[in-house]
Amino acid sequence: MRIRPIKTAIIAVLLTTGMARAQNMTFTIDPILSQFTLTVTTLLMGTPLATSAQGAGSLVTGFGGSILADVTGSTIQFLPGSLLSALNSGSWLPGNDYAAGDYLTASDPANYGMVTDLRSLGFSSTEPSAVRDLQISLVMGTPVSLTGGVFDEGGITTDYTDGTVFYSVGGYPPVTDLTTVTPNPTQSSASPATVTTLGNETTLVMPFAMHSEYYVNMLLVQQDYAGTLYGTYSIPEPSTLALLLLGGPAMAGLARRRRGPQANNE
C-alpha cells in the first residue's frame, strides 16, 4: 500500500503539533457552572412594584445546551442551532394545571419562581409567578473578532424558542408565552469572553446578560438574565485523525486485493 506524499505530510504535522485546528466546534454547556440569575422588575405606570424570590434559590438556576461555533485564528461566530435550556430550580407556585383548580396551592417544577406585591392594585397579598420550559437561542450574524482568545460578547442576537410565565392572576389562563417576546441582544460586560485550549480541550467562558420586557395588562414586566456560560469542546486526538487519514488508503487497498482474485477467476 502506498500513501501519497501529501497525506504523509499532513499526518506528520498533526503528530508534531499535537492539535489540529477545528473550525466548527460544538461547545457543551455545563449546567453546574453556568448559573443565571433572573431579576424581575414590575412597573405600574412607571412605579415599581416589589418583586422578590418565592424561596431560597428560586431566582437562580443552571443552563445546559450547546453552542455551535465557527472558530478561526482571528474570529468566532455562533451559528444557528446554538441553544440554552434552563434547568428547574425547584417547585414553585402557581402550578401549571389551571384546569385542576388547585394551581394556587399545588406547586410544580419551574426554572424560576417569584412573588410580586400587587396590593396597590387591590389584591390582598403578594402574588406568585413562575417561569417554565425556558429556552434561549444565540446567533451571531457575522463573525466577531477573536484576539488572543478574547472576544466581545455584546450584540449577540437572542430569542426565546420556548418558555412560559405562569401567573396566579391576570386572565384565564394567566400566562405569557415568551416566544411572542423579542429579547434584546446580549450586553457587553467588563470581563470579556474567552476561548482557550489546553491539551485536546477547548473551553468557552462567556459572561451573559440579556434584557427583555413585555406587558401583562397594565403592568410592564422587565426580565434581566445574568450569569456566565461555561462550555467545552473536545478536540480529536492527533493519532485518531492520523488513523482516519490512513484508513482510507488501507480500505481501498483491501478492496482492490479482494477484487483481484475475482477478476482472475472470470
Verify that 110 and 224 share a domain, yes or no. yes
Verify that 43 and 160 share a domain, yes or no. yes
Place of cell 477545528: 22
Verify that 54 and 185 share a domain, yes or no. yes
Say if 260 falls within a structural domain.
no
Verify that 245 and 160 share a domain, yes or no. no
Secondary structure string (H, E, C) spanning 94-142: CCCCHHHCCCCCCCEEECEEEEEECHHHCCCCEEEEEEEEEEEEEECCC
Place of cell 384546569: 99
Verify that 93 and 220 share a domain, yes or no. yes
- Asked whether the beta carbons of 224 and 209 are under 8 A apart, the reply is yes
Can you point out the beta strands (E) in the chain?
24-29, 35-44, 47-49, 51-53, 60-71, 75-78, 83-86, 90-92, 108-110, 112-117, 126-139, 144-145, 150-151, 157-167, 175-177, 193-198, 201-216, 219-234
Sign, CA torsion 150/152/157/160? positive
Say if 263 falls within a structural domain.
no
Q: What confidence score (pLDDT) does residue 15 get?
A: 39
Verify that 106 and 231 share a domain, yes or no. yes
Say if 141 falls within a structural domain.
yes
Between CA 172 and CA 99 the distance in angstroms is 10
Place of cell 440554552: 84
Between CA 257 and CA 252 the distance in angstroms is 9
Backbone angle region of 133, left / alpha / beta, with phi > 0 → left and psi within -120 to 50 → alpha: left
Say if 102 falls within a structural domain.
yes
CATH number at 169 reads: 2.40.160
Say if 121 falls within a structural domain.
yes
Verify that 137 and 241 share a domain, yes or no. no
Domains contained in the chain, number: 2
What is the full per-residue pLDDT of the chain (266 aa) written as tens digits? Answer: 554 554 444 444 443 443 345 479 999 999 999 999 999 999 999 999 999 999 999 999 999 999 999 999 999 999 999 999 999 999 999 999 888 778 888 899 999 999 999 888 877 678 999 999 999 999 999 999 999 999 999 999 999 999 999 998 866 678 999 999 999 999 999 999 999 999 999 999 999 999 999 999 889 999 999 999 999 999 876 655 455 555 555 445 545 555 554 444 54
C-alpha grid cell, residue 184: 434584546
Domain that holds residue 248: 1-20+237-255
Q: Nearest CA to 70 among 116, 27, 8, 15?
A: 27
Verify that 173 and 42 share a domain, yes or no. yes
Verify that 109 and 203 share a domain, yes or no. yes
Verify that 167 and 215 share a domain, yes or no. yes
Phi then psi for 241, rounded to 5 degrees?
Answer: -65, -40
Say if 48 falls within a structural domain.
yes
Backbone angle region of 10, left / alpha / beta, with phi > 0 → left and psi within -120 to 50 → alpha: alpha
Say if 264 falls within a structural domain.
no
Verify that 95 and 105 share a domain, yes or no. yes
Q: What confidence score (pLDDT) does residue 263 get?
A: 46
Q: What confidence score (pLDDT) does residue 3 get?
A: 46
Verify that 85 and 36 share a domain, yes or no. yes
Q: What confidence score (pLDDT) does residue 239 get?
A: 53
How distant, in Å, are the alpha carbons of 41, 116, 218, 221 from that of 44? 10, 12, 7, 9
Say if 261 falls within a structural domain.
no
